[in-house]
Amino acid sequence: MLRFILRRLFVTVPMVLVVVSLTWGLIRLAPGNFYTGEKPIPPAIEQNLRQRYGLDRPWYVQYGRMLGSVAAGDFGISLHYIGQPVNGILASALPVSALLGALSYLLALVVGVAAGVLAALRQNSRLDYASMTAAMVGISLPNFVLGPVLVLVFALSWYWLPPARWNGFGINLILPVVTLSAVYMAYVARLARSGMLEVLRSNYIRTARAKGLPERTVLLRHAVRGGLLPVVSFSGPALAFLITGAVVVERIFALPGLGNYFINANLNRDEPLIIGIVAFTSIAVLVFNLLVDVAYAFVDPRVRY
């Protein structure tokens, strides 16, 4: 197991290299530049700008410099947010995204697994139908609809909660966390239910029951572990996405997280910032997926590496 983890961590380095290089190439291919504006700028000023940011150098020099910055873990200075170090931006946006993502994931996991497992244990009961209907509503209501609806009800009609803005850990987070987790909660509930149903019919559960194990032990020690496998494999992408891709929620609730920066960095062709966020998130994706694979081995004894 340890060898497996080390090997995967080792693979991370070339992976990040590939991702960052592809991204760098894409930025070069995209039309427009960070300085493209409403009014075409005079060629002389454009020349000055390119010189100032080293864009007049040959591509391999620029590429090398980019790789160097990634290797050093210092992504340089943003082109759009003039003079601001990318590392500083990441440091300010990451806690916001991490808190938002982690809370949403926890909420989704706790509620989703509970609902899914209970629904599976009492298949076709009222509880099953109710929780699966709720899950369907969660999935069918995109977060750009759910968020504003929640705001309309809780912030603008009843004036219970603030409609937007980041204010650290506090009530400002309630609406965004609920909005962000709703879809995942629903996913998790449905995946958990179907996974559980599958497992409950499997031979090893039958064997466990036949052995005369108490139902509680059968469920908790055997069924839940196997039944949550789809949830676990969904967790890697979900966690990575929750932490890096909460763009819509960040916009609706005006939260200064990574997603907001990332969209704008793309639109602004802000190369150092894009590279910084991509390098960071690709490491995050790889680590989460690794965690998922490790969790697999723990949850499901059938899986071997």
Give least dist CB 267 to other proteins, A. 6
| Closest C-alpha among 3, 1, 17, 12 to residue 287 | 12
Give least dist CB 300 to other proteins, A. 5
Give least dist CB 14 to other proteins, A. 9
d(CA 120, CA 173) in angstroms, rounded, equals: 31
Residues paired with 85 in a beta bridge: 77
Give the residue with the Cβ less far from other proteins, 114 or 155.
155
DSSP annotation of 230 reads H
Give least dist CB 121 to other proteins, A. 16
Number of H helices, E strands in the chain: 14, 0
Give least dist CB 298 to other proteins, A. 13
Give the residue with the Cβ less far from other proteins, 125 or 214.
125
Q: How many CB atoms lie within 10 A of CB 267?
A: 10
d(CA 68, CA 19) in angstroms, rounded, equals: 15
Give the residue with the Cβ less far from other proteins, 246 or 255.
255
Give the residue with the Cβ less far from other proteins, 142 or 214.
142
Give the residue with the Cβ less far from other proteins, 30 or 61.
30
Cα distances (Å, whole numbers) of residue 52 to 65, 90, 118, 189, 198: 15, 24, 62, 53, 62
DSSP per-residue codes, 15-67: HHHHHHHHHHHHHHHSSS-TT--SSPPPHHHHHHHHHHTTTTS-HHHHHHHHH
Give least dist CB 107 to other proteins, A. 18
Residues paired with 77 in a beta bridge: 85
Give the residue with the Cβ less far from other proteins, 58 or 157.
157
